[in-house]
Chains A and B, each alone.
Chain A
Amino acid sequence: MPSLSTSKVNDFVVRFANVNGTGSASANFLFTKSIFRMGIPVTPKNIFPSNIQGLPTWYEVRVSEKGYLGRREGIDLMVAMNPQSMAGDVAAVKKGGYFLYDSSKMLHANYIREDINYLGIPLMEMCNAAYTDARQRQLFKNIIYVGALSALFEIEFPVLEQLIAEQFPGKAKLIPPNIQALKMGVDYVQANFKHPLDIRVERRDLVKDAIMIDGNAACGLGAVYAGATVAAWYPITPSTSVMDAFADYATEYRTDKTTGKRNVAIVQAEDELAAIGVVIGANWNGARSFTATSGPGVSLMNEFLGLGYFAEIPAVLIDVQRTGPSTGMPTRTQQSDVLEAAYASHGDTKHVLLFPSTPKECFEMTADAFDLAEQLQTPVIVMTDLDLGMNDHVSPPFEWDDNRVYKRGKVLNASDLENIQRFGRYLDVDGDGITYRTYPGTHPTKGSFFTRGTSRDEYATYTEDGGAYQRNMDRLIKKWNTAKTMVPAPQLIHDKNNKCEYGILFFGTSQYAAEEAMELMRQDGIFVDALRIKAFPFNQMVEDFINTHEKIFVIEQNRDAQMKSLLMIELSADPNKLISVLNYDGMPITADNIMKQVTKKLLITQD
């Protein structure tokens, strides 16, 4: 019998190959959550089609004792439930790995490999015998294979029982049939296979107080905590669930129990242009307002983002990046909107960007984005991606300081206006480039002004005078420089024991793989410092990091090395110093991939 090179406890990858729309998602999540509940770090990735029903979909679960939460290549066990994708699924299994399939029908000879192990379970036959209803046969088939996996991997059965009970609150009737289905899987394994396998799990206490949530829900929750009251959006994968989560949490925590009235307004707009227009209008009128979209939506929002920048209106935009250009691969991940977002719109524009890496940062940076947008009176874009947004992640728990105040920025009220000789909407009173604004309705005779995307003077009066236009543009740069001191500083991972000539630089979801790659490189005697960028405009630390290292590997998930371009444009960084490590196949970047590219490029640079 072929075997994996070593037996592995809490260190393997399982991939589920399913048919979209067959109810596999909740069964597969049950599997993931059971491992999480056993205290073992686990990271699932959905690899799904742009389809409602019928096309192949995969769910990949990495179990890692060491806490590596990035994706890893190489499948140790394949749960092959989709005949359509079976040829590729067989080929994807690592030598010595396992192939679990429905043996109700004989496996085609083409799918037989000598170097892997086959675990045939007659799932369809078992379901046909046990259930009469077609939908039940389908759904319980998924639960039966989870039961089988629990026996193969030694997942504690009471953990699964508990999860099933939690899944159906108030529907006690549904619990026993699910437990029964799990047991059918367990029983079959016990009667037919040597178990547990050489890959298995063992209870640990490694996840501590961590939570499991996707980044989109975290963004939605962050917006509730930040006091967003007006939200507008247009449905687009992979951002839709940001607004779903915001609506759910807002409905729960912002509804008056007696009147049913809600302290929130959510509008599904006719398109992304309208969505950002609503956000601009609401923020102009003093409400915290945001939208969520993906790359194509950002393209449509360009004109308004330019207006927001020039007319100086706060706005928060969550960009859940996906693979472009155009419709690209709408259900695959990428970090390819960096340049689009940084310079969105015509004319001289620049936008504040935040780059979260974890759900916790999605929560925090969304909340911070509202403060920054209002303090800087400009659009702020939270740059997450499909991997972070739509996959569940093990994350530190969310925290909220009840003493935190909403930083609403420089807004004058009626008594402030009384004490001012003449209000100048675009007058730089404090010398930081940030001027004072008023909300409509503040004062009968003072403080009104005319907002426009066209040139105006310090008192918001229309003018086509070149000098006035230039003064304003220069002040906007002064404000941009102020922003550098306000956005989150990067995270520096400094190798204390070694003087490193090389540095790696990354952002967003590349963090998981980059940190794992650093560990792998250390084992090979390659030591590097690392910097994780959290925001644009770049903090001084980014410039210092580039200046103090000979070569910088810039890791990013797009073809055109967009962050490298941004570093070159904004910091005049020497392009010869910046070596790109890229991944743009739509799958989350892996540590192996980074390691291979860095090693190869190191050899070249040393030659």
Chain B
Amino acid sequence: MSFTRPKFRHPGLPKNKLGYTISYYEGALSTLCAGCGHDSISAGIIQACYELNIEPHKLAKLSGIGCSSKTPAYFLSNSHGFNSVHGRMPSVATGANLANRDLTYFGVSGDGDTASIGMGQFVHAIRRNLNMTYIVMNNGCYGLTKGQDSATADHGSKNKSGNVNMFESIDLASLAIELGASFVAQSFSGDKGQLVPLITAAMAHPGFAFINVISPCVTFNNNVGSTKSYDYVRQHVEATGTIDFVPEMPEITTEYAEGTIQGIRMHDGSVLQLHKLAQEWDPEDRLSAMNAIKNASAKQEILTGLLFIDPNTKDLHNLINTSDTPLNKLDKEHLCPGNAVLKDINAGLR
């Protein structure tokens, strides 16, 4: 069932540039378990859209199947939403994006939905550099079917029933970098301060922006021995740094010491100010990003924050050279060659 949120809000809630309060960005009440990491991420999405002054109806939210894929109902109720087929959100998002390049596309998936049944579609959406934000709410297990290990469960991690996972896990962030994703970040649902600017940066990025968010399952994978529990993640998280997203700043004027703060100018003129903690890492260098993840992993750390970005990337529309006018806005005059041309075509077939 869906439950609508009570309408009452504090009258003094601040408004963004569009004149909307944050409540305008909310959705129906969540039916996920109390304490679910996914709800924190939904809250982060709401905050990011509010801060970015997104018009909700200019955003389409899409998902596959699973606990995570239910969340689009819990944010942005003024946006069209599409809870599609298990593992197939990327293809639906591809079609939607091709139909109208002027909207913002926000995809939510889970570790089962992306790393198992939807792996094929995930990697090909990256290959095509589809302009969308793609968040995986990663809890290492299948919640809706009662806690089976997923493909992102770490080798040696123990689940609620006490079984130890004997298989290697799939590291989605490394995979995305390897496949050529133009924006890759990692975060933790328990760190909203880090998550919100990452989401805003991802949405401003003009290509495929991937955020892998470790999001503990309180019901099936929050036990001792699990590497995706709140306690374990909190103890092992290591950030690359923090970022501030500065929309459309004319130029970077701040002086900063080499290697500590890095300004990355985004396609639309906005700037990512990155306060680096990991000094040896360069976020615009794919190999460096891979090394940073692997080095952290060797120390049993989960590296979070922005991992890789190519701010000058070309998205699918630019690669296949589609018209600037969204395809769904073109009418017969633009699309149909007409009967006179058909007569010529007929003549050529005689």
* A interface residues, Cβ below 8 angstroms from B: 36-37, 209-213, 221, 224-227, 229-230, 232, 249, 253-254, 256, 260-267, 269-271, 273-287, 289, 303-304, 307, 397-402, 405-406, 438-445, 447-454, 461-464
Contacts and interface: CB of A to CB of B under 8 A. Distances in A.
Nearest to A260: B321
Contact of B336 (A227, A280, A441): A227
B322 A267 contact: no
B96 interface: yes
A211 B99 contact: no
B322 A261 contact: yes
Contact of B100 (A249, A280, A287): A287
A407 B321 CA distance: 28
B320 interface: yes
A268 to B, nearest CB: 10
A221, A276, A452: which has the most chain B beta carbons within 10 Å? Answer: A452
Contacts of B334: 254, 263
15 contacts: A225-B336, A225-B342, A229-B99, A230-B98, A254-B335, A263-B327, A273-B88, A275-B91, A281-B92, A281-B94, A444-B57, A448-B80, A453-B85, A454-B83, A463-B1
A230 B99 contact: yes
Given A227-B332, A307-B85, A462-B2, A263 B94 contact: no
Given A262-B322, A282-B96, A440-B60, A269 B91 contact: yes
A277 B92 contact: yes
A273 B83 contact: no
B134 to A, nearest CB: 14
Given A279-B95, A452-B83, A274 B124 contact: yes
A232 B84 contact: no
B78 A445 contact: yes
Contacts of B145: none
B94 A229 contact: no
B61 to A, nearest CB: 9
Contacts, number: 236
A462 B1 contact: yes
A307 to B, nearest CB: 6
Which residue, B62, B73, B88, B128, has most C-beta atoms of chain A within 10 A?
A: B88
Contact of B330 (A263, A270, A399): A263
Interface in B314-350: 317, 320-325, 327-328, 330-332, 334-339, 341-342, 345-346, 349-350
A451 B124 CA distance: 24
A284 B82 contact: yes
A463 B73 CA distance: 13
Contacts of A304: 85, 88
A253 B337 contact: yes
Given A267-B128, A462-B73, A277 B120 contact: no
B313 interface: no
Contacts of B97: 281
Interface in B58-95: 58, 60, 62, 72-73, 77-85, 88, 90-95
Interface of B: 1-2, 55-58, 60, 62, 72-73, 77-85, 88, 90-100, 102-103, 120-121, 124, 128, 317, 320-325, 327-328, 330-332, 334-339, 341-342, 345-346, 349-350
A444 B102 CA distance: 15
Given A265-B320, A281-B62, 15 more contacts: A213-B349, A232-B94, A261-B323, A264-B327, A277-B94, A280-B92, A282-B99, A285-B95, A287-B99, A303-B85, A441-B58, A441-B100, A442-B57, A450-B83, A453-B84
Contacts of B120: 270-271, 273-274
A304 B62 CA distance: 15
Given A227-B332, A227-B335, A277-B121, A263 B99 contact: no
A439 B328 contact: yes
A522 to B, nearest CB: 32
B63 to A, nearest CB: 9
A183 to B, nearest CB: 25
A402 B96 contact: no
Nearest to B20: A444
Nearest to A438: B80
Nearest to B92: A281
A566 to B, nearest CB: 26
Contacts of B90: 274, 277
A261 B325 CA distance: 10
A244 to B, nearest CB: 16
Contacts of A439: 80, 100, 328
Contacts of B330: 227, 229, 263
Contact of A269 (B78, B93, B124, B332): B124
B324 to A, nearest CB: 7
A210 B346 CA distance: 8
A262 B321 contact: yes
A529 B317 CA distance: 54
A312 to B, nearest CB: 13
Given A211-B350, A440-B60, A461-B2, A232 B95 contact: yes
Nearest to B93: A281
A278 B324 CA distance: 20
A221 B82 contact: no
B80 A451 contact: yes
A307 B77 CA distance: 22
A318 B331 CA distance: 23
B98 A278 contact: yes
B346 A397 contact: yes
A444 B57 CA distance: 5
B321 A402 contact: no
A10 to B, nearest CB: 19
A414 to B, nearest CB: 10
